[in-house]
Amino acid sequence: MNKPYYFIAVGGIGMSGLAKYLLEAGEIVSGSDIAPSKYTKEIEEKGAKVFIGHDENNLPDDCIVVVSSAIKEDNPELKKAKKLGLKIYHRSDLLAEISKKIEGKKCFIGYSGTHGKTTTSGMAAYVLSKGNLSPDFVVGGIVPELHTNASSGSGRYFVAELDESDGTILKYSPDICVVNNLEKDHTDFYKDGINSLLKTFETYLNNLRSDAKILINNDNLGNVELMKMCKGKNFITYGLNDADYVAKNIQYGKTTSFDIYKNNEFLCKLELCISGEHNVYNALAVLASINEAGEDINLVIPHFKTFIGMGRRMQKVAQIKDIEIYDDYAHHPTEIKASLSTLKLMGYKKIVAVFQPHRYSRLKSLWNDFLNAFDNADEVYVTDIYAASEKNTAGINSQMFVDELEKKKKCKYLSGSIKDVAIKLLPELTSGDVVVGLGAGTITSLGKELEEEVKVK
């Protein structure tokens, strides 16, 4: 019998997915988190014991301990695990171990890149599941209709989101590797910016088995540089221009349709109920990867048009009379541009962006890029920076950012909690506005807080 697994901070989106996968695979799982959440509740419903609060007495005497990069060395459960000499896995070690166990039994499709890996991996999990292909999957968001971020299926596919933010992508060796795009980000880890990131991906691709397939978006400049660095690799390209898989005849609006050509021959037509050029790339990557896996794409094609997007990816969360409110995880300048462009394509006349900067290091290192990311917004409101455990060694704050941004855009700083932000924002809104909360932190509660403020009024 395998040793039980104990997750420190089991309620995180990535950790909870791995815990669910193990539970469905018949493993014994327990864990802890600082507060109850919908994710801890779901894990408990699947049979796990979840402790609220981190305490060394929670830890079983003999288990495999799983941690994420967010867990500090002074965590009492981690200290106890080290004292007992227990095996300690970073969550990436566990995902790598799972992928090794299915090697030769299932086709491992790994989605990576600076942007879009949650959507592409989630979309793949969705269309394969709806096509009755029962994939295994572990992704970084809740898949619509499937209502989960992980599943242990009976089919021949294992789909995973592969995170590059801390270099742990080097631990994986998928059969089909998808690289969406590469841009400067995570400068807290990649000290030399894009150059460090490219070197990590060069190592990652060079470590793949010789029969692995590499699908890469060759419209992205970072990816083009990576291809130059890995000249010996046989890349399968996709994009909107000159590539092996090309999207043509694109029709945008609140929905999207386009034709896919492979090697200049018509392959299929896709319809999406989500908008934006970035989602054309996302769907193209998923369809191409499934085709390269040798699957009958006719089983999945009909289901692209019912994929409504991942949670927190341009997700409509509230409506106050005729003011629509969206929540979007965009926390990088390129993602913000894509999100605002999508709202423009959807026909909204006045776009109100509420931006919560995520990490001091990211805002400082991409300062000018952020300043140029809001062209499609009519008004911008900036909240306090969400530190994500970082200390402010950058010497910056949101007011400084607003002082520069308001030179080119109507902009205002709203301080305090998201509840405080909602109280200050509501009087500024007018009939017909569309509001989008942008960021990876607590901004996700903006829609709920605006609705609560309307009730109070």
The pair phi, psi for residue 136, each rounded to 5°, is: -75, 145
Residues 6+ apart with CB under 8 A from 79: 56, 73
Please confirm, yes or no, whether 117 is among the known catalytic residues.
Answer: yes
Three-state SS string over 322-357 comes to CEEEEEECCCCHHHHHHHHHHHHHCCCCCEEEEECC
Indicate the length of the chain as a whole number: 457
Q: Are 212 and 174 in contact (CB under 8 A)?
A: yes
The pair phi, psi for residue 63, each rounded to 5°, is: -160, 170
Element holding 267 (H helix, E strand): strand 265-272
C-alpha 274: how far from chain center: 16
Please confirm, yes or no, whether 168 is among the known catalytic residues.
Answer: no
Catalytically annotated residue among 117, 184, 213, 262:
117
Q: Are 137 and 153 in contact (CB under 8 A)?
A: yes
3/8 Cα distance (integer angstroms): 16
Catalytically annotated residue among 118, 120, 148, 168:
118
Q: Are 69 and 164 in contact (CB under 8 A)?
A: no
User: Which runs of consecutive H residues, i.e. helices, occur in 75-209?
Assistant: 76-84, 91-101, 117-130, 194-206
Q: How wide is the angle at C-alpha 364 spanned by C-alphas 141 and 316, nearest 5°?
A: 30
Please confirm, yes or no, whether 231 is among the known catalytic residues.
Answer: no
Catalytically annotated residue among 42, 77, 161, 324:
161
What residues are annotated to the active site? 117-118, 161
